[in-house]
Chain A
Amino acid sequence: MRRYKMLFSGLVMVGAGAYLFCASPLWFVWLTGCFLWCVGIAVGIAGAAVPLFVLQEPVPPTGFFMGRVANPTIMPSRQVPIEVLLLQIENHVRLEQAAAESFLAFPTHDHLHSKTPSPLVN
């Protein structure tokens, strides 16, 4: 659809130009209609030619490198080897313990509900 955008624009300009040319008795509107009509035909022809003769380059997907570079900390759990997963769990337990120790040393609401940087839950 995006390829024919120019063609549609040309057709709209031709239509608008023809309307102004026929409908208005004022000379400057008549001239504007005439101009729009001519430019519309040019744009329409160009719009029809571009998709036919110009080869489009493939558009790289968004986040091109995301699918290729493995990030060991945020890989989906199904892809993570079990040894890595167990290490992540251990790391998570250690972080949670540190957070709990911090709460016990200074029991405040903020310490109790502080966010963990553990990749297991983020």
Chain B
Amino acid sequence: MTHELLSGLSSAEAEQVLALGTRVIVPGETSLFRLGDPADRLFLVERGRIRLTLPMPVRGREENIFVEERNPGQAVGWSALIPPYRFTLTASAALSEAKVMALPREALLKHFVENPEAGYKIALNLAVVIGHRLQLFQTMWLREMQRTVEVRSA
């Protein structure tokens, strides 16, 4: 399987990174991490789908509102590499169970120091993931703003 975060790495380099992690099975509709939890592990989705949600009050009740879904090959929880190392979303497996590779932050950072070239490629891949997310939500935010303005000026 090709992981977006390991793109551009040789298979040997990718294997070295994957060897740092442990596989975690997340049963269906079970949380992988919650909003505000300490982010000490980065996850690579290997099987199933991970739903990212944010809490929002709906009719006086707090509901987890769907934000995004991550599929096999994609990364979840890059807050583990970005200060203040707290998850800013809640992640849970979709209806069926999911399998993820959990990469501890400390082990990853140590590996980057020892293998700066691999660390550089992973950092670039991470920038692509974060940049895409930023552009996506910037666009969605503008579309919602447009709708608000239309409603207000109608």
Contact = CB atoms under 8 A, between A and B. Distances in A.
Interface in B130-153: 132, 135-137, 139-140, 142-144, 146-147
Interface stretch (A3-11, A59-67, A82-90): A82-90
Interface stretch (B16-24, B65-73, B119-127): B65-73
Contacts of B12: none
Contact of B63 (A86, A99, A103, A121): A86
Nearest to A89: B65
A100 B67 CA distance: 13
Q: For the side of the interface on B, what is the size category?
A: 10 to 19
Contact of A93 (B63, B66, B146): B66
A96 B143 contact: yes
Given A82-B58, A82-B59, A86-B58, A112 B66 contact: no
B61 A100 contact: no
A85 to B, nearest CB: 7
B92 to A, nearest CB: 13
Contacts of B137: 100
Interface of B: 58-59, 61, 63, 65-68, 132, 135-137, 139-140, 142-144, 146-147
